[in-house]
Amino acid sequence: MNPRLLLDTCAIIWIALDQPIRPEARIALRAALAADEKVRVSPISAWELGLLCARGRLAAARSPTSIFGDVIATAGVKVEALSPEVLIESSFLPGSLHSDPADRILIATARAFDLTLVTRDQLILDYARSGHVRALAC
């Protein structure tokens, strides 16, 4: 397993709210930190957290700003760059994938920086099985 990880928004939510994650994902996160490899998050996840809360799809006792802020303040976590190149690449991903912009940007980020995407999103996991990105179920 590549110890270079990128957390999907759903993984951020589950981890931030102390929800259980799969043992394989927990082991991968510990291995990354033990290898002194930063666990990455994307700024697009902050946007997605805001949307989820604004639309009433995430009922959390804390604000999206607080959730994302606590995650990025955690030792061993790094906000990965969201460059124009990654944004453009998200429009040209290979294979068949839905049009959700946040998912496409996360996948393009994982591809650009050679990261494994940690996610619960079944559509992303299915896309990964086609070989276009590495993903780990959490």
Which residues of the chain are modeled with pLDDT < 70? 1-2
CA Rg value for the chain: 14
pLDDT at 58: 84
Pairing of strands 77-79, 116-119: unpaired
Q: What pLDDT score does 57 carry?
A: 87
User: How much is the pLDDT for 60?
Assistant: 74
Q: Who contacts 86 (Cβ-Cβ below 8 Å, separation ≥6)?
A: 105, 108, 109, 112
What CATH superfamily is the domain 5-137?
Answer: 5'-nuclease (3.40.50.1010)
Per-residue pLDDT, 2: 67
Q: What angle do CA 111, 123, 138 make, to 5 degrees?
A: 75
Name which of 112, 109, 108, 138 is nearest 125 in CA terms: 138
| Residues in CB range of 120: below 8 A, 6 or more apart | 8, 10, 11, 14, 137, 138
pTM of this structure: 0.93
